[in-house]
Chain A
Amino acid sequence: KQEVTQIPAALSVPEGENLVLNCSFTDSAIYNLQWFRQDPGKGLTSLLLIQSSQREQTSGRLNASLDKSSGRSTLYIAASQPGDSATYLCAVPLSGGAGSYQLTFGKGTKLSVIP
């Protein structure tokens, strides 16, 4: 059974700082990995999706890396802003094919960026 772990559970940083969020998964035979953002009481916004054949993906100030063999992914946020405050979730599919849409999530990292 796939298990996803995110460290740290919570992180507080001053505005402008660069930071790294970590995600690990137990079964390295994943099809892809996604990072999401969840704001309090709200749904999820997909930030980055990395296919199993890729090593990293970038979107603006966000960069996600994937090391399948070690079962790890990191989300790097550059020049953090108060608006980045949210919970960041890492998720991998339960299986390939159509099942790639059924996701296993970590518990998330709650990020607070202090002005």
Chain B
Amino acid sequence: GAVVSQHPSWVICKSGTSVKIECRSLDFQATTMFWYRQFPKQSLMLMATSNEGSKATYEQGVEKDKFLINHASLTLSTLTVTSAHPEDSSFYICSAPLLILAGGTDTQYFGPGTRLTVL
């Protein structure tokens, strides 16, 4: 079946540094990918939609200048957390559908997630 990978699986960084998280679709092309984050004991929250070859769209309340998204190829989207602070510590998960069909009749595949801890 389709697989989505993320790298790294976990990262610890100092406050003020930038961290890049990669999301790859391993055996299919994904023109669209989605980034979610999950705080402890909270639900997954959609952060942004990553579009290959165009700008990402961000959900309300998500700072686009802080969470930079680049979808440079049909198999790779990157999320860069710039000037990370302890409140950015979270579990970041990406997803990619096989096909973009009206009605969302196709399933989407989720990456294993990246645990970010900012000291």
Residues of A that sit less than 8 Å from B by CB: 4, 31-32, 34, 36, 41-46, 49, 51, 89, 91, 93-94, 96-108
Contacts and interface: CB of A to CB of B under 8 A. Distances in A.
B61 interface: no
Grouping DSSP codes into helix (H, G, I), strand (E, B) and loop, the B interface class, with mixed when no group exceeds half, is strand
A96 B93 contact: no
7 contacts: A46-B107, A49-B107, A98-B102, A100-B103, A101-B97, A105-B43, A108-B43
Report the interface size class on chain B. 20 to 34
B32 interface: yes
A43 B44 contact: no
A22 to B, nearest CB: 15
A105 B44 contact: yes
Given A4-B43, A43-B93, A101 B34 contact: yes
A36 B113 CA distance: 15
Of listed B34, B49, B103, B105, residue having the most chain A CB within 10 A: B103
A98 B32 contact: yes
Please provide the 9 A-B residue pairs with the shortest distance between their CB atoms, ordered closest to farther.
A100-B104, A44-B110, A43-B112, A43-B110, A105-B44, A105-B43, A107-B43, A101-B97, A46-B107
B25 to A, nearest CB: 13
Contacts of A104: 46
Interface of B: 4, 6, 32, 34, 36, 41-46, 49, 91, 93, 95, 97, 100, 102-105, 107-113, 115
Contacts of A94: 46
Given A89-B44, A107-B41, A107-B43, A41 B113 contact: yes
Contacts of B42: 107
B104 to A, nearest CB: 2
Contacts of B97: 101
